[in-house]
Structure 1
């Protein structure tokens, strides 16, 4: 089954006792807005998880603006919400799926595969007269046991090495007439908008630019105008030129909007995709890390 589900699919299973719906709405710069929106109205039966309080850990010197939550802390939070390892989870938001994708990625990182994203926003759900409520469900605690999948992550040291070797290989290609192949390196993908990638318009982080050697694939370009994900064929065309046999490391500003790109890459048939969770905001927290600007 694909990682996304339709409104009709969810409506038909709205009161399935083996399922938990999770509202992930969150507005950067307005940390209370998501919970307030949830308390006003949400999909019936939904519980709420906050991007910064539940799906991230406190900000420190390194780790970026949204460091990954401690797996045991998140597992305890899920348990209190009545979510077990057998629960099917459907997540939604009103931000083009980026926060829901963060939960999707985190749950898979904890070893939980039965997690899906509603392919439409809450706003679309409501506009099309699907049911909403302000009732907050009473949840019976359960037990969720984390089975962490460390291979899904790439750390700053590895990203630094990949960046250095990629830039060196690019230089060798330009300056050499040799046709000998270069060692196969992971591909770095920057998920931010192109103006941020180029360093032309940085409003969230202290430094502008991108990790040297990274390619730019804006995460919103994986979606249709209504916020639903493009088909597998469309995504394959979108990622044309990326070798499916190579490893891919995806980052963004803080590790959130990279998650929709991870989902889209997997949907397009890329099997070896990892997340640099700290992303750009972690990269620039190390003074010696180089910064590139422009299209290269």
Structure 2
């Protein structure tokens, strides 16, 4: 059995206990302290997990015009995954301690590379610990190099800024902004020198995909939440830098909805060009 959206703690425990080869990626991260995730990993992680750094492993260097977390080159990402031991067809499980905020980026990127068996650990590190399962400290042994090669993408092609600009007037797609409501409305924050949102966007805060227990809501609940936002239109998924937008992509996949297109540059790219329009308020 393979997992392509979510995997529960019990299922991951059983996979690891059976000796089935699984690549587990600890994606813990903190935008305010980029070294915090690696430090937390060193203190304790799911046994055998390997650390994936959002800035270094799951993004290309920003140039001031392409957003905070540009997509990495497919060949570079595939090469890094091989160093972590990824083989074609091997199950990948990504997790973090932030409700899947960073792990969902790993899920989307692997699917972008054509790798289907990738899932996010529902409930993340907290769920693993709450289940009484062990953590280990320090790095795992070196991985035997994998043979993974990217294939046709399993997600729709990403959207460019020019396409998003054109969509403002055309309106064929519905932009969904995964940032918190205050940032969407235009409240000042330390991440963005310009506050607000893309005209015509609607807000779907990624944390609303989770229940009080930190796990994803049921498929029917997610479908019911997205339906009035999209009103039958294809989704353009956006956030601050193309990361938590992947959380909405995952939620839509769980709900069985048509896949949206990711705008990787997102708000941090959008505001790099002062000619691009900015809206404020709740709508």
Q: What TM-score does the superposition give when structure 2 sets the normalisation length?
A: 0.93
Task: Spell out the pairing of 1:70-219 with structure 2 (5 A cutoff).
Answer: 70-135=73-138, 136-147=140-151, 149=153, 151-166=156-171, 185-219=172-206
Inter-CA distance 137–225: structure 2 relative to 1 (3 Å threshold): farther
Name which of 33, 37, 43 aligns with 1:40: 43
Instruction: Report the number of matched residues.
Output: 278
Secondary structure of the corresponding residue to residue 152 of structure 1? coil
Task: Spell out the pairing of 1:250-269 with structure 2 (5 A cutoff).
Answer: 250-269=237-256
State the 1:24 CA deviation. 0.6
Does residue 1:230 correspond to 2:210, yes or no? no
State the 1:148 CA deviation. 5.0
Task: Spell out the pairing of 1:21-32 with structure 2 (5 A cutoff).
Answer: 21-32=24-35
Partner of 1:174: none
Secondary structure of the corresponding residue to residue 253 of structure 1? coil
Task: After superposing the two structures, state which structure 1 stretch, 234-243 or 245-254, moved more.
Answer: 234-243
The answer (yes or no) to whether the contact 1:47–1:137 under 8 Å persists in 2 is: no
Q: Unaligned stretches of 5+ in structure 2?
A: none
Deviations 1:22-50 (A, max 9, x none): 11111112111111111121111111110
State the 1:79 CA deviation. 0.6
Secondary structure of the corresponding residue to residue 92 of structure 2? strand
* Runs of 4 or more consecutive aligned structure 1 residues displaced over 3 Å after TM superposition: 242-245
Deviations 1:36-70 (A, max 9, x none): 11112111111111011100111112221111111
The answer (yes or no) to whether the contact 1:18–1:86 under 8 Å persists in 2 is: no
Q: Unaligned stretches of 5+ in structure 1?
A: 167-184
Partner of 1:8: 10
Partner of 1:55: 58
Deviations 1:173-194 (A, max 9, x none): xxxxxxxxxxxx1111111111
CA distance in 1, matches of 2:79, 2:104: 20
State the 1:152 CA deviation. 3.0
State the 1:260 CA deviation. 0.6
